[in-house]
Amino acid sequence: MLFYLGVQYLQAKRVYFTLVDINFNEKKMLYKSGYNIYGYAIGILVLETKFPRIPGDMGNATSFSFPVRYKVVKGASPQRVVDERDQTLLHDFIKAAKELELEGVRAITTTCGYLAMFQKELSKELNIPIFTSSLLQVPLVHSMLKPEEKVGIIVANAKTFHPSILEAVGAKNIPVAITGMEEQYEFTFMRREMNRFNPNKVEKEVINVAKELIDCEPKIRAFVVEDANLPPYSKALQMATKLPIFDFMTLTNWVNLALIKNQFGRR
């Protein structure tokens, strides 16, 4: 019987276990070989950027309570993915995803919700789950609401957000209200590959954008945040709007829990 024993806590010390083959009848534990490095279940495809990624950002490993493995996709800049929706990048993402799979991860995600445009193609090429976008949560979130209520979506750039992205995540016919961060000075300053930015200013921008959307769309009852740089502000956004906030971290933590289950004690 195969188990992936993830992060365990023992006397306040974090201990990592790997994929093991446990034979309960023989009271022995056999470790499965085949990889150079062990202890991570989640692999993350990262856009090639230089801007700071603070804790909470998908590109900052301290955002997680479990180990993750990163793979930078060379040439996949935010401009090519978000602004241009460059389809020629598909091959590069497939190649990088297959490398992560060979390195032993058990599921793969990304650092850009617009990569939902490759969800179908990537899933066909891999033998492990891949969740390219936090927007995959939109159908689930709306199923929790009344049929006439809406899911608010905050994206990096509403002007370049194409309806096909919603279709790719199964949200084509779901009532949503979309807004973007493209007009926010500090956020766009950060995305222009600057070497510094003020997180407090970005936090205020996210909150203002969300509140303006609620004013226009009072039927919003939950938010899904597309951009992988915005989870650091989800707590503040939740407190300001008094609504549930779903983001990349929500989805990644959920998948990790599905991959690494706790063994509960039995009497």
* Residue of 174, 179, 178, 107 lying closest to 141 (CA atoms): 174
pLDDT at 70 over 70: yes
Residue 13 pLDDT? 36
Q: CATH number of the domain at 42-133, out of 3.40.50.1860, 3.40.50.720, 3.90.226.30, 3.30.830.10?
A: 3.40.50.1860
Q: pLDDT of 10-46, one tens digit each?
A: 333 334 444 444 444 455 556 667 777 778 999 999 9
Domain positions in the chain: 2-37, 42-133, 134-246
Task: Give the global pTM.
Answer: 0.86
The angle that helices 234-241 and 199-216 make with each other, rounded to 10 degrees, is: 40
**Pick from 106, 166, 177: nearest CA to 136:** 166
Mean pLDDT calculated for residue range 108-119: 98
On the question of pLDDT at 233 being above 50, the answer is yes
pLDDT of residue 32: 67
Predicted confidence at residue 196, as pLDDT, reads: 81
Confidence at 1, pLDDT banded by 50, 70, 90:
very low
Residue 73 has pLDDT above 80, yes or no: yes
What's the CA gap between 80 and 120, in Å, rounded?
19
pLDDT digits (tens, 9 = 90+) for 143-174: 999 999 999 999 999 999 999 999 999 999 99
Q: What share of the chain is helix, strand, coil (3-state, %, to 5)?
A: 40, 20, 40
Report residue 129's pLDDT band, with 50, 70 and 90 as the boundaries: very high
Mean pLDDT, the chain, integer = 89
For position 9, what pLDDT does the model report?
34
First to last CA, the chain: 22
As given in the structure block, the two tokens for residue 203 are 């936090």
Which range (136-140, 194-198, 209-213, 253-257) has the least confidence? 194-198
Query: pLDDT (tens digit, 9 = 90+) per residue, 184-202?
Result: 999 988 877 666 889 999 9
Please give the pLDDT value at position 36.
77
pLDDT over threshold 60, residue 251: yes
Q: Please determine, looking at this structure, whether the domain spanning 134-246 carries the CATH number 3.40.50.1860.
A: yes
Q: Is the pLDDT of residue 142 over 70?
A: yes
Model pLDDT, residue 15? 40
Residue type at 133?
S
What pairing do the DSSP bridges indicate for beta strands 2-4 and 19-23? antiparallel
